[in-house]
Amino acid sequence: MAYQEIKLYQTGTFVAGNRLLGPEQRSVQARMGRSNSLTSGHRACQGCGEALGARYVLDAAMRATGGKMVAVNSTGCLEVFSTPYPESSWQLPWLHSLFGNGPAVAAGVAAALKAKGREDIRVVGQAGDGGTVDIGFGTLSGMFERGDDVLFVCYDNEGYMNTGVQRSGATPPAAVTANTKAVGREPGNAFGQGKNVPLIAMAHEIPYVATATVAELRDLEYKVERAMSFRGARYLHVFVPCPLGWGAASADTIKLARLVKETGLFPVFEAENGEVTEVSKIRRQVPVEEYLRLQRRYAHLFGDPGRPDIVARLQAGADRNVARFGLLPEGDE
């Protein structure tokens, strides 16, 4: 972590708060006065990682901007479970337009605020992986290329969950979805090229790109704060488990997010202007199997006879990430 890790024995900066820390040293989430940008009563499933991620990101952004911000949201789970007429769980200014245009709408909002001389009001756009990686990709790239003053956040739960768990460009190989079932010679999603949007964002050389998970609250909050310290197009890719879509226990959401990093499957890093600047090291490396076994979408890989060859390929992918990004602490390679 690039942020100032507090070496306080007991829990340090691993937990949300800790009474031994001064209020300023605790996470935004630990404070009683946190914004609760997404408040109770929403219709997300039990244990929804996206609901958690959205509150984490927006509360941190509200703090970083002194409450002077607006949010733009693409169609998806987050938008649907938070705004079914007549109930809205949002407590900040929020606009939903369409599925594929989140980045463009956010760009328009930022332009309007600039024209009005209100650049003190900041813009955050947010969407799921579907709305970012697939249908929103064109507008996202346009936003990056123009350098619109928007922080765009992708909550990646690796599928079109709102419509019933279909495969998206972010669905990992071998995962079962509603249209990549465990039948045929190559069960689950195919081993394709993948679409690494954080790297694509870096190729646009925008000021700030970062990845994060909901398991590391302090890291995520830090990255939001850091992102808000820049002007121009910024991108944050947050890994958020979906218990329902993945066939995982609702109480495992944070554990899964932790494991996806600790296996090396999801590199956590920051980049500025196209170059990686910080890598968050793996703390206690584990084999991918430990992560996969917790999710029914990978159940077809185990059992009798299972598919150890596919597991091995997934492990190879994780190992490649470890080598490519330098995810292990020095001396542990």
Partner 1 sequence: MDKPFAITLDIGSSRANKTGSWRTERAVYTNRMPPCNDACPAGENIQAWLYEGEEGGAGYERAWHKIMEDNPFPAIMGRVCYHPCETACNRGQLDESVGINSVERFVGDEAIRQGWTVSVEAPPTGKRVLVVGAGPSGLSAAYHLARRGHTVTIREAGPMAGGMMRFGIPRYRLSRDVLDAEVQRILDLGVTLELDAKVTGLMTLKDEYDAVFLAVGAQLGRRTYIPAGSAAHVLDAVDMLRDLETGEKPLLGRRVAVYGGGNTAMDAARTAKRLGAAEAVVVYRRTQDRMPAHESELAEAEDEGVLFKWLTTIKQVDSGKLVVERMELDESGFPQPTGELEELAADSLVLALGQETDLSLLDGVPGLVVDDGVVAVGPDMMTGCPGIFAGGDMVPYERSVTVAVGHGKRAARNIDGWLSGAAPEPVARPALATFDTLNTWYYADAPRSHRALLDRARRESTFDEVVLGHDESTALMEARRCMSCGNCFSCDNCYGVCPDNAVIKLGEPGENYLIDLDYCKGCGLCVAECPSGAIQMFPEEI
Partner 2 sequence: MLEQIEGSQAVARAVTLCRPEVVAAYPISPQTHIVESLSDRVRTGELAPCQYLMVESEFGAMSACIGASGAGARTYTATSSQGLLFMAEALFNASGLGLPIVMTLANRAIGAPINIWNDHSDAMSMRDSGWIQLYAESNQEAVDLHIQAYRLAESLSVPVMVCMDGFVLTHAFEQVDLPAQEQVDAFLPPFAPQQMLDPEDPVTIGAMVGPEAFAEVKYLMHAKQMAALDEVPVIADDFREAFGRSSGGLLKPYRLEGAETVVVALGSVLGTIEEVVDAMRDEGVPVGVLGITCFRPWPVAEVREALSRAKRVVVVEKAFAVGAGGIVGQNTRDATRGLPVEVYDVVAGLGGRPVTRASLRGLLDDVLAGRIDPQRLHFLDLDFALVQRELERSRHGRRPGPHAENILRDIGTVASGAYE
Query: Where along the sequence are the contacts to partner 1 (CB under 8 A)?
Result: 7-12, 14-20, 26-27, 29-30, 32, 36, 38-44, 46-49, 51-52, 55, 82-83, 85-92, 217, 243, 249-255, 258
Residues 291 and 314: their CA atoms lie apart, in Å, by 11
Q: Which amino acid is at 27?
A: S
* Closer residue to partner 1 in complex, CB, 51/107: 51
> DSSP secondary-structure letter at 94?
E
Chain position carrying tokens 């991620």: 53
Contact status, residue 259 vs residue 291, Cβ threshold 8 Å: yes
> Residue 105 or 217: which CB sits closer to partner 2?
105
Pick the closest to residue 307 from 169, 170, 188 (CA basis). 188
- 30 interacts with, out of partner 2, partner 1, none, CB within 5 to 8 A per kind: partner 1
Please report, as a single letter, which amino acid is at residue 84: P
- Examine residue 67 and tell whether it contacts partner 2 (CB under 8 A): yes
Q: Does 92 bind partner 2 (CB under 8 A)?
A: yes
Query: DSSP states of 95-129 as a string?
Result: EE--SS-HHHHHHHHHHHHHHTT-TTSEEEEEEEH
Out of partner 1, partner 2, none, what residue 39 binds, judged by CB under 5 to 8 A for its kind, is partner 1
| Contact of residue 166 among partner 1, partner 2, none (CB under 5-8 Å per partner type) | none
H helices of 171-230, in order, are: 197-203, 217-228
Q: Is 236 in the site for partner 2 (CB under 8 A)?
A: no
The count of C-alpha atoms lying within 13 angstroms of the C-alpha of 242, restricted to the half-sphere facing its C-beta, is 24
Among partner 1, partner 2, none, the one that 42 touches (CB under a kind-dependent 5 to 8 A) is partner 1
Size of the site for partner 2 (CB under 8 A): 46
Binding region for partner 2 (CB under 8 A): 67-70, 72-73, 79-80, 83-86, 88, 90-98, 100-101, 104-117, 121, 138-139, 141-142, 145-146, 148
